[in-house]
Amino acid sequence: MTVPAVLPHDAAAAPAHTQVLVVGGGTAALEVVMALHERAAGEVRVTLLAPDPHFRYRPLAAYAGLVPDTRQTVAVPPLAAEWGASVVGDRLASVDLDRRVATTTHGGRIAYEALVVASGAAPEAAVPGAVTLGAPHDEPAFAALVARVRAGQATRLAVVVPPGVAWTLPAYEVALLLAHAAPPETTLVTVLTAEDAPLQAFGDAAGDAVRSLLRRRGVELRTSCPPETVAGGTLPVPLGDPVPLDAVVALARPQGPAIPGLPHDRAGFVPVDVRGRIVGEDDAWAVGDVTDRPVKQGGLAVQQADVAAADVLRHLGLQDGETAPARPVVRAALLDGQGTLYLRAEHGDDGWATVVSREPLWWPPTKIAGGRLAAYLAARETALVD
């Protein structure tokens, strides 16, 4: 399939045209492309508006120095072509929903019949003075901290979950990994979370499993603690003097892109319904971290992508019936330095049904669980090894 021309922004010029325009270059966007191709058997014309010519699968990138580098890099144009899509290398600047035209940052325009936005969110520092986990600009500082921990030079650490962060598992994971990396019996790692319990959003069983693991690994847990608790670089002690901290690591607070022309809340996230359709729109969808769904997690984004793709095809007349919204299933692989704890939580009429296991609960047992992309990359990796 040829790449559609992106024309300069000129009122007299007709924009390039596609049936489905998918915006983004990450996991959620590629999942949408794959789902559209698989469900429609190649009958839909898809364009991917991606800012980078390479997709970097880096679910463990935040833990540089703590876990082996398992990144995979794939060229986007041939991957997209394999799944029936063409690529425009640019970013989304704005959308005219009434005219169904997207404008890129370089002034190009693309008309569409259906739009799917999967452009992600940006990590925002939420705790002053802390190293922000997963923020690209703090990756060198985090790597330097890991080196200090391994050398026994940083022995009192705090990992903070600030308010406004719904996916909190990375805090417990990095605390366990830091404790494991330190020389034996030299380092105190404390998790301070604004939650009332670990993984509070996913029921008691998941939280109890994490709490028990932290206790066995010697990681202290303090719940219902706001980030101000570590202000000034000290750890408060009940009925005692504050303890100086060598370093504080904090989860990032996600910030939405507030794309001009798209509805968004005060944090810049796009409001969507249970099928991923942008609220108030008939031919525009959003999936993944760009949406106003509170939990920003790769496995959930994969599920959202599949539902949105089905609804797009129904809208285009390529799939019959109503699109059934998926009941979200949370799958999480928590690394503790000695192995992996797998958690699977599904919310039903009677609350959360949770399974915790040291054996994989899905296949392939990737960090971002489920979907076509994980299976595709696993098969590709196996082929390269063979």
pLDDT band at 240 (very low <50, low <70, confident <90, very high): low
d(C-alpha 359, C-alpha 371), whole Å: 20
Give, for 247, the enclosing helix (H) or strand (E).
strand 247-251
Both tokens of residue 50? 């991606």
User: What is the per-residue pLDDT for 4?
Assistant: 44
What average pLDDT does the segment 284-294 reach? 97
Q: Which residues contact 255 (CB under 8 A, 6 or more apart)?
A: 121, 122, 123, 124, 267, 268
DSSP state of 277: B
Mean pLDDT of 76-104: 97
Q: What b/e sequence results for 116-147 when a residue is b if at least 16 CB atoms lie within 10 Å of its CB, and e otherwise? A: bbbbbbebebbbeebbbbbbeebbeebeebbe
Model pLDDT, residue 333: 95
In this prediction, residue 336 carries a pLDDT of: 95
Mean pLDDT of 271-285: 97
Average pLDDT over residues 185-208: 90
Interatomic CA distance for residues 330 and 355, integer angstroms: 10
pLDDT confidence bin for 383, thresholds 50/70/90: low
pTM score, two decimals?
0.92
Q: State the Cα–Cα distance between residues 29 and 302, nearest whole angstrom.
A: 9
Rounded-to-integer distance, Cα 134 and Cα 130, Å: 12
Q: How confident is the model at residue 6 (pLDDT cuts 50, 70, 90)?
A: very low
- Sign of the C-alpha dihedral computed for residues 291, 293, 296 and 301 taken in this order: negative
Q: Which of 67, 21, 27, 98 is nearest to 316 (CA)?
A: 21
Residue 385: pLDDT over 70: no
**What fold, for 124-252?**
FAD/NAD(P)-binding domain (3.50.50)
- Give 252-267 pLDDT, tens digit per residue: 999 999 999 999 999 9
**Percentage of the chain exceeding pLDDT 90:** 72
Rounded-to-integer distance, Cα 192 and Cα 27, Å = 30
What digits encode the pLDDT tens for the residues 148-163?
A: 999 999 999 999 998 8
Sign of the CA dihedral with 269 first, then 49, 27, and 173 last: negative
Look up the CATH architecture of domain 16-121+256-315. 3-Layer(bba) Sandwich (3.50)
Q: What percent of the chain has pLDDT over 70?
A: 94
Q: What is the pLDDT of residue 100?
A: 97
| Residue spans in the chain of domains classed CATH 3.50.50.60 | 16-121+256-315, 124-252
d(CA 220, CA 214): 7
- The per-residue pLDDT of the chain, averaged, comes to 90
- pLDDT tens digits, residue range 199-216? 987 888 889 999 999 999
Amino acid in position 109: R
Over its C-alpha atoms, the chain yields an Rg (Å, rounded) of 22
Q: Would you state the pLDDT for residue 233?
A: 82
Give the pLDDT band of residue 7 (cuts 50, 70, 90).
very low
Question: For residue range 40-79, what is the model confidence (pLDDT) as tens digits?
Answer: 987 999 999 999 999 998 888 899 889 987 778 999 999 9
Q: What is the mean pLDDT of residues 333-352?
A: 89
Q: What's the pLDDT at 320?
A: 84
pLDDT computed for residue 386 by the predictor: 54
